[in-house]
Amino acid sequence: MSARPREFIAAVLAGGLVAGTIDVAMACLINGRSIRFVLHSIAGGLLGEQSFLGGTRTAILGAVLQGAMAVVIAAVFVAATCVVPALRRHWIRGGVLYGVVIFVVMNYVVVPLSAWHSWPHFSVARLVGDLCAMLLFGGIVAYFASRPWPQPESLLTRARRE
């Protein structure tokens, strides 16, 4: 990816917010829980069990945290494409690889260090579901990182056309 700031920011925001939103939906499907429950669980990363007592405010906190984490995760990948352009050209492979990295970091670093202080205990079905969700997340981020973003029309180009 080129170093153009607008293109970088567009890829980060689009990839992060789309992937983060779909990730919440996947968590609902995988765990058979409501969006509200999933958002409270995300807020629990900061608040622990108290997140389930906070009502709408902690659900909103969970949504904000999910969006922020998703954007940061996307920013890491988009920045990596600036250093390793092959990640952009081969975005499917890059997305799968990044999905595995996201899975490992979230389950073995982020969640254990959060207020939940828990280590993953997977059944085969849960492992497959969670890994597929992270592969999808990585794929979405990689897709947006690979897209050419339109450039704003320059004054010179506009003047020539008129």
Q: What is the pLDDT of residues 47-93, one digit of tens each?
A: 999 999 999 999 999 999 999 999 999 999 999 999 999 999 999 99
Predicted local confidence at residue 1, as pLDDT: 44
Q: How many CB atoms lie within 10 A of CB 153?
A: 9
Domain boundaries, the chain: 5-149
pLDDT tier at 8 (50, 70, 90 boundaries)? very high
Nearest to 21 by CA among 9, 6, 7, 38: 38
Handedness of CA 59, 55, 114, 126 (dihedral sign): negative
Query: pTM for the full model?
Result: 0.87
Mark out the alpha helices in the chain (DSSP H runs).
Answer: 5-31, 35-47, 55-83, 86-89, 91-105, 111-113, 124-146, 155-161
For the chain, the average pLDDT equals 91
